[in-house]
Structure 1
Amino acid sequence: MFEKLYNDIPILLNRTALKTDIRLQQVCELLKNTVPHYDWVGFYFKNGDKEELKLGPYAGAPTDHTLIPFGKGICGQVAISNQNFVVPDVKAQDNYIACSISVKSEIVVPLFVNGENIGQIDIDSNTSDPFTVEDERFLEFVNAEIAKILV
């Protein structure tokens, strides 16, 4: 499933005639429409000097969570830990911000530019425990490719 995406992502991101936000939006839509267990795909970025994340481009249902304080929810925890966070069952997490009652699992992978965590890709799934190490490696690749256009 990811093989073709490993080729498509760099091609999409190298469309320099398009603004960065448009390219990130296209990445979100491509992942949501291609990977069956990716029901919501979005980016959160550090909000200036504030200790919070701000919602960037995304594909999926609208969310009220446009600002997330560091430490709150899965995304806020990744902003502090700088580590991937895979949640097989969101109901088992105490520090979880519910975006939709249909969400059963989540994966968040930090996005580093020059060694600094500047944001993350966040994926919600309506499927229980669908994320594997293959998802993690793929999303790390996506973020590494995105980092190249954010330098």
Structure 2
Amino acid sequence: MMFEPLKPHIETIVSNPNNSVNKRLLAICKLLEASIPHYNWVGFYFRNGKKEELILGPYVGAPTDHTIIPFGKGICGQVAISNKNFVVPDVTTQDNYIACSITVKAEIVIPIFVNGKNIGQIDIDSNTPDPFTEADERFLEFVCTKVASIL
């Protein structure tokens, strides 16, 4: 399984107090994008204070115009409301999808909870159709739990 060997790397990144939170989040993005072939854009979105919107945090991949996403808009905005994982095998089937790139075929978004509150999420786009499995979900839940410990 490609995910198990990455877990100690995630733990090492998260537990490094010499780096800022944003540097650690960026290091996670870089590790995931470089290590998992079907992860073509990896980034974090966080609730923007008390506003009903998400603001883009550290990410790797193609630049995006979607630096602020209102709650309810797109896959990320829907996860901000539902508090549930959202796996999209084919983005063309989603009416409420916000296209970042014409190369993106699939997306997975996993919420990050701190003290029971959804404070953000990890967002991954793939240029491969239907690449995400339950193993991706479980691994990304692990990543989000580790990230939550430093927020």
Scaled to the shorter chain, the TM-score interval is: over 0.9
Segments of 4+ moved more than 3 angstroms:
none
Q: How many angstroms does 1:7 deviate by?
A: 1.2
Write the distance in 1 (CA, Å) between the matches of 2:35 and 2:12.
16
- AA matched with 1:31: L
Alignment partner, residue 5 of structure 1: 6
Which residue matches 1:34? 35
* Equivalent position SS for 1:149: coil
In the alignment, the residues of structure 2 paired with residue 122 and residue 75 of structure 1 have an alpha-carbon distance, to the nearest angstrom, of 7
Q: Normalising by structure 1, what TM-score?
A: 0.99
Q: Deviations over 1:14-60 (max 9, x none)?
A: 11011000000000000000000000000000000100000000010
Deviation at 1:73, TM superposition (A): 0.2
1:2-151 alignment, distance < 5 Å: 2-150=3-151
Q: Secondary structure at the match of 1:56?
A: strand
Distance, in Å, in 2 between the alignment partners of 1:46 and 1:12 is 23
State the shift of 1:3 in Å. 1.3
Tell me the CA shift for residue 76 of structure 1: 0.1
CA shift, 1:63, in A, is 0.2
2:73 partner letter: K
Percent identity for Structure 1 against Structure 2: 69
Q: Distance in 2 between matches of 1:99 and 1:149?
A: 28
For 2:105 and 2:66, the matched residues in 1 are separated by 17
> Which secondary structure state, in structure 1, belongs to the residue aligned with residue 54 of structure 2?
strand
Cα root mean square deviation, aligned = 0.4
What are the ranges of 5 or more consecutive residues in structure 2 without an aligned counterpart?
none
Give the whole-Å Cα distance in 2 for the aligned partners of 1:28 and 1:38. 10
Provide the C-alpha distance between the structure 1 equivalents of 2:13 and 2:49, rounded to a whole number of angstroms.
27
Structure 1 position 6, deviation (Å): 1.2
Runs of at least 5 residues in structure 1 that lack an aligned partner in the other structure? none
Which amino acid letter does the alignment assign opposite residue 90 of structure 1? V
What TM-score, normalized to structure 2? 0.99
